[in-house]
Amino acid sequence: MSEQTPIIIKKVKKGGHGHHGGAWKLAYADFVTAMMAFFLLMWLLGSVDQAKLQGIAEYFKDPWKPAMQGGQAAGDRTSIIKGGGEDLTQSEGQVKLTNQGKEEQVAESGETDSTDTLEKDMEHLKALEEKIEKLIETNPVLQQFKSQLKIDITAEGLRIQIVDEEKRPMFGTASARMEPYASQIIDQIAPVVNELPNRITVTGHTDAKPFPGSGQGYTNWELSADRANSARKELVRGGLKPEKMMRVVGLASSVPLHPDNPDDPTNRRISIIVMNKQTEEAIMSGASLDVSQQNPLEKEAVPESKTGLPIRKPPAAPIQPIQPIQPIPPAH
């Protein structure tokens, strides 16, 4: 039997095509990563100001300069990391770049915000003034009492005065009970005044006619305070939120509308003041109001005591003549 040659069978595995493997996934992942880095770079460049961009540019020009200066290169004054990074703990101010390429420190203060707040507050009060004036012209109830309504802006805010007439008083003689027509006026005004968040002051005034007696009993001071409180109750009943009421004051005849005629019926009035924020803050802090710029008809901003009465300085004591010095008698 002849010797047989062994048969060797080789199985060759043919490699699959490229698109059936995972090589394309690596290429796609690299592409997505590159695009993400590109858009992240574009976002970072668009979110920083010119000063920071200049600081970054100077860092790449001379990396050792900010490193040696502790991160204080130009455009990098807010850095706490050598070479870059923003110090979010600093509150000294913001850094902006001028046209000449120099840095300018801008102090962060509340003056601008405070000014903007006061201006907006004044705009709201003026808008309320126009709205009330328009309401008086169009509302039949208020139109018939137009001559008794006076609206102006004072140092304290928007003032609405309801003034007596000789034949049409708001209250009965020596009484704090409000007449029906006066209640109607306040009922129409209350919802409009309630639209603003500003706090309210109600002030009562009388004429100079005194009560009988020596002033020890019921006087114009008590009467003006009671009338102011009656107006407060009517405002709340008409729709004003009670928490908006901040001050109810009786000034008797101390602040006449017509100083040349203290007994004039128009001196009897109720003043409703929609206070500005500055006046509110002054009252809350106990600070006195500056009335140096007010005219004689705007004296209601005088400081008042806790009893509601105006604070008046006591009269100066008379100067006593200087007595001549007596000579000291000789000792015995």
Token representation of residue 200: 């309210």
pLDDT in tens, 171-215: 988 899 999 999 999 999 999 999 999 999 999 999 998 887 666
pLDDT of 261 over the 80 cut: yes
pLDDT recorded at residue 21: 62
With beta carbons less than 8 A apart as the criterion, state whether 199 and 177 touch: no
Cα gap 226→263, rounded to integer Å: 20
How many C-beta atoms lie closer than 10 Å to residue 10's C-beta? Answer: 4
Which residues sit opposite 149 in a β-bridge?
Answer: 162
pLDDT (mean) for 297-308 = 40
How many C-beta atoms lie closer than 10 Å to residue 142's C-beta? Answer: 18
pLDDT recorded at residue 2: 55
pLDDT recorded at residue 81: 40
pLDDT (mean) for 306-320 = 43
Q: Which of 281, 282, 158, 179 is nearest to 231 (CA)?
A: 179
The dihedral sign for the CA sequence 302, 307, 309, 310:
negative
pLDDT in tens, 45-56: 788 777 777 877
pLDDT in tens, 207-248: 998 887 666 788 999 999 999 999 999 999 999 999 999 999
138 three-state secondary structure: helix
pLDDT (mean) for 153-160 = 93
Cα gap 106→94, rounded to integer Å: 5
Cα gap 118→129, rounded to integer Å: 16
pTM: 0.54
